[in-house]
Amino acid sequence: MAPFTNSLDLPDAELPLKELFEIIRPENNLVLADEMMLSDASGTILWVSETYERNFGFFPHSIVGRSAFDLEADGTFSPCITAEVIRRKEKITATQTINHIHKNVTTIGIPLFDDGGALKYAVCCNTVSMEQISSMQSNYRNLRDSIQQYTQEIAELRTRATSTSLVFKSSPMQRLWTLMQNTANTKANILITGETGVGKTAIAKAIHAMSDRASGPFIEVNCAVLHENLMESELFGYEKDSSTGSARKIGKIELANHGTLFLDEIGELPLHIQSKLLQLIQEKTIERLSDGRRVALDFRLIVATNRNLEEEVQRGLFRSDLFYRLNVIRIHIPPLRLRKEDILPLAHQFLARFCREYGKDLNFSAQFLGFLEQYDWPGNVRQLENLIERSVITVQDPIIDVTALPPEYASQAPAVLQAQSGTLAQRMDAYEGEIIRDAYRRWGTTVGVAKELGISQPTAARKVSKYVHS
């Protein structure tokens, strides 16, 4: 151990104390502060670290041998923590000013007692300057703000990248989105239900993208299109196909390892495959065909169906134990006809996408938008998407109007189409009906309709009765 280079000689009885201070030297213990000072019970400075003298502008050995009380009296330190420790005989943490360099430092003073309880020494450590604290606080705030900004940007980019079909405005979809956010990072199985075309696949992809598995694979399997004879090998894979002699095939389930497995149309699975899926959920292992070994997997399971699985269970077509395993988190997507507020945002989003794909610059007419809003959309979002794509492809004018609608839509949109033909009175009546229905959809009351359209409430009530409730 290196000897003290700038301290008074201590008696041999104090060798353990010397060893202590060799141990806590900054070069030997990086946890402690660089600047340290040791004094005896009378306040005489016995030792200071070289960094203390260097960092605070003292000449070498200029402090050793002086009294802490003198250094306090002449204003070298204010207050002098060493002197305070000796006076109070207790640990002190305070800000100490080194006046000749106008520097404030946080100082910890510690009293050391002998076996009889008498004060023997005082140790002072300067931890960090107030300037350093301010700088660290500023850096921390800047770092925190940057992290918040980057986190927000990442979330926005992730949302834009993964929620192409998740444009929504309606309250039901807002509640659904909240549920997705709250469950995305859990391990719970998710059952997505809804009519054909409502966007179950888009919901599943968005959940995956929001989860901590987003960097892993998203493996989608449409159970409805798998041939029953090939379903097991496609899902679970095989070590070797005995009929063809082909080598090992990795199944869809195994490909989803460390990611998300999405089984669409889960209600189409035959019972024997349902049994194997139940075992997979319970054990998180699979056994390839023609291979007795089991492979451990780590994946998140999301399934979807347009069937009523409760009824399927009652009919014996779907295993009840599998249903309860899948139905941990239930996400039901309402049909488009029950969330009409989402129709126009979706339509505009599809229009922008298909215009980019086909190199066109088109817009909707007011009449076309009116038709979109009033139509029931039995095929839901998928049907709306297909209609917009067809319109972008076929329309040559810059405006997509109701005249571009395919024949199968004409009989189901009489009000809008009537406005394109007939007498002036007939056209005006059709437009008026469209306006009243649109206002009533937004407000749900005749008072709201009257306020929006600038008519009396009795007049609004008559028109709502004529055009909405008739």
pLDDT score recorded for residue 441 = 78
Q: Do domains 12-133 and 164-334 have the same CATH topology?
A: no
pLDDT at 241: 56
Domain 12-133 of CATH type 3.30.450.20:
yes
Is 164-334 a CATH 3.40.50.300 domain? Answer: yes
Domains in the chain: boundaries: 12-133, 164-334, 338-467
Domain spanning 338-467 has what CATH number? 1.10.8.60
What digits encode the pLDDT tens for the residues 328-386? 999 999 999 999 999 999 999 999 999 999 999 999 988 889 889 888 899 999 999 99
Threshold 0.85, pTM exceeds: no
In angstroms, the CA 72 to CA 85 distance is 13
Neighbours of 410 (CB within 10 A): 14
- Give pLDDT < 70 ranges for the chain: 1-34, 127-138, 141-142, 144-146, 148-165, 240-248, 289-292, 410-422, 470
What is the distance between the alpha carbons of residues 182 and 43, in angstroms, rounded to a whole number? 62
- Are 223 and 264 in contact by the 8 Å Cβ rule? The answer is yes
pLDDT in the model for residue 33 = 54
Q: How far apart are CA 66 and CA 44, in angstroms?
A: 6
Closest CA to 106 of 94, 116, 91, 118: 94
Angle of CA points 153, 158, 163, to nearest 5°: 130
